[in-house]
Structure 1
């Protein structure tokens, strides 16, 4: 709360420093949106007992997310203020159906709490084509993605600068020091999976370049102090085959190396360590590349791909699973970051494919469906043979197009995982989501 109060006071001071007429655009360009999400989550671990002894997780909740965004004060240098208030309410899933902090924080008796809420504030400033945001952030970058796979989204605290010196070029940079997990009201420091010591310095910079209508290029560098340095290169090319048909190529490469304490045996022993197999236990040393090819024609889309994770260590990005505070759950910019598995273990080779269909081509706008299959092999395990895993995903989405319920969305996610890695084993997962966005002003 101390950081949030500081941001609020700073923003108010900036606003009051200007003349009264400066508030015209600040108010006129303001937006208020209420997002409502009803989420049912069921995960059957197939007789693998959890911390409370149960092998099934079944929870149901409703989320209310109030997103307020101001405009900017008038003048060459404009100031603004955003706020994000969230509330999660448990509808079902008490003790016996709750396994760790997945959807809701843990209560004192090991059950899920009945409700939890947060308030995030972001001060912002804009000069020409450059914007600075300080406070609560939800980044969507190749080197960091805010996880939104449960009732409430994961948020981060820090500063981010975005500039567009050219229409085709976007530059991004920033520094983050805290995160609030998707099932928590308290923030925590930053770490990687298995890391028991927190870092408060994640810095990054990158560039997005739209070379032409067909070619999009990206480069990013990120550094989590005392854990890793990471470079990312990305290329997306869309080739128009004929009218209504395209062939898309998506290439991604990550190079991740140990930094600071993680690069020393003493530091890893002190808790700056990475979970999973590695040539040097706990040390981050990884190269991961992926290639996806998508052919689209009419409402049909067929994607095939391959991903290779080197054997030095697991692929890694920010993951606070070992820091507590309901911080479990993180996203990565890998095409294999799926519902039950992410296929990012040391040595893992993954072949995958997905078929999608947009029913607007059949006269049913708003309805889409897809089925995907992912198979990983050569997973390195300490003292055991290389393991394999596979996941099958089914996705169905529908948004009502007209009438009194226009804009209400329904989603089904069903995943089946079978893994030779003991910590994953077998899982059958189902998610049902109903969502609606209401513009308040």
Structure 2
């Protein structure tokens, strides 16, 4: 991985002075202060789960919190090498909870089992830009399919390390990263996910305006190595019709101490392929989607220590990922955009996912299903412009309690989110 990582970085940097870069972002830099942006995203979240038929623990959890995500991004100084900084500030405040209702993952939990009243975290990164290549060192959010920070609760995960992204060649994005820690969503202490070290490199290329492909490699020390590939094709049939096809695949193998732990504890060594194929047809306000996903080989598709968002598979939905060993699953989804009917900003979504054949250790044919319903409205104008209001409901059932500790879960999320751009 070291050779691959540094060869990718060398290619990205050298491209900055190549014949491909006729004009660059750095040439257009207005300055450190002049190109600065500052935004605060405010999120109010009520999160509740009803664990039906759960005799071993809580029957219900429900908490409400208010989160503030502040991000300052400076511009780059002028010259051949631009220098800038990014600063992240996060604050979570508990509005409603209780010892009997804690455990939603919104807040840190104390030794008494109660959620903390508030928590905060933050950090900064220094960044350098040559032409259209940016090197960033420090605290940052990541979106690579083999190393992606999660933002599904009150506050997002924050990764600590070094990343480089190059867009020197038209249609080609190159990126690589070296990370040594991730602060979890509901924690304030650094490296709360106990990441030893993760390295990755990858590329995304637009073959045509309709066809893109990507290829990534990652290695998480003492856990696994992954190879990821994606092909996405979107085609407009008319002004009102289009279809899209999206294919994702991961190849994962245990590595280092992860392999040794499996051998010592007589647990499954990861050596699997997880793929999903998704097709979507859009007609006017309506989008119909079908997806199929399958895991083959040994072990579940593993992720988390390399970021809670590192699962770019079609059937990773609100409650379940349908990623157990040997599991196959299918999805049917429907989306409705009410802008066509004169209500811009209002949308609806519903989907059903069913999985079977899962090898969970206690059964070789585990079954699960999930139904999700969502309604969302984004205010289009006025003082509250861009305020979004969302209701998400999920119903989950499985053939036994090996999935997430409960065979039956009803979940409800009420989300109000307001992005404020100050600079």
Structure 1 length normalisation: TM-score? Answer: 0.85
CA distance in 2 between partners of 1:33 and 1:65 (Å): 8
CA distance in 2 between partners of 1:75 and 1:136 (Å): 25
Residue 399 in 1 paired to residue 395 in 2? Answer: no
The aligned residue for residue 200 of structure 1 is 196
The aligned residue for residue 410 of structure 1 is 389
CA distance in 1 between partners of 2:421 and 2:360 (Å): 50
The aligned residue for residue 10 of structure 1 is none
Corresponding residue SS for 1:135: strand
The aligned residue for residue 41 of structure 2 is 35
CA distance in 2 between partners of 1:314 and 1:406 (Å): 43
Could you report, residue by residue, the CA deviation over 1:395-417 in whole angstroms, capped at 9, with x for unpaired residues? 11101112222221101111000
Could you report, residue by residue, the CA deviation over 1:90-145 in whole angstroms, capped at 9, with x for unpaired residues? 0001211102x611000231100000001111110000011011111211121122
Corresponding residue SS for 2:32: helix
Contact 2:68 2:90 in 1 (8 A): yes
Aligned partner of 1:84 among 88, 92, 95? 88
Structure 2 length normalisation: TM-score? Answer: 0.89
Measure how far apart 1:439 and its partner are. 1.3
CA distance in 1 between partners of 2:334 and 2:183 (Å): 35
The aligned residue for residue 301 of structure 2 is 315
Residue 262 in 1 paired to residue 268 in 2? Answer: no
| Structure 2 gap ranges (5+) | 1-28
The 3 A distance-change label for structure 1 pair 82 and 199 is closer
Aligned partner of 2:267 among 281, 284, 302? 281
Residue 362 in 1 paired to residue 310 in 2? Answer: no
Q: Which runs of 4+ in 1 moved over 6 A?
A: none
The aligned residue for residue 119 of structure 2 is 116
Aligned partner of 2:411 among 395, 411, 429? 429
Measure how far apart 1:281 and its partner are. 2.1
Corresponding residue SS for 1:310: strand
Corresponding residue SS for 2:355: strand
Measure how far apart 1:383 and its partner are. 4.2
Corresponding residue SS for 1:28: coil
Contact 1:205 1:220 in 2 (8 A): yes
The aligned residue for residue 94 of structure 1 is 98
The aligned residue for residue 215 of structure 1 is 211
Measure how far apart 1:385 and its partner are. 4.3
Corresponding residue SS for 1:172: strand
| Pairs within 5 Å for 1:284-295 | 284-295=270-281
Contact 1:144 1:333 in 2 (8 A): no
Residue 105 in 1 paired to residue 79 in 2? Answer: no
| Pairs within 5 Å for 1:39-54 | 39-48=45-54, 53-54=57-58
- Root-mean-square deviation (Å): 1.8
CA distance in 1 between partners of 2:410 and 2:186 (Å): 21
The 3 A distance-change label for structure 1 pair 233 and 331 is closer
Contact 1:144 1:317 in 2 (8 A): no
| Structure 1 gap ranges (5+) | 1-22, 191-197, 274-279, 321-326
Could you report, residue by residue, the CA deviation over 1:163-184 in whole angstroms, capped at 9, with x for unpaired residues? 0121200000011110111000
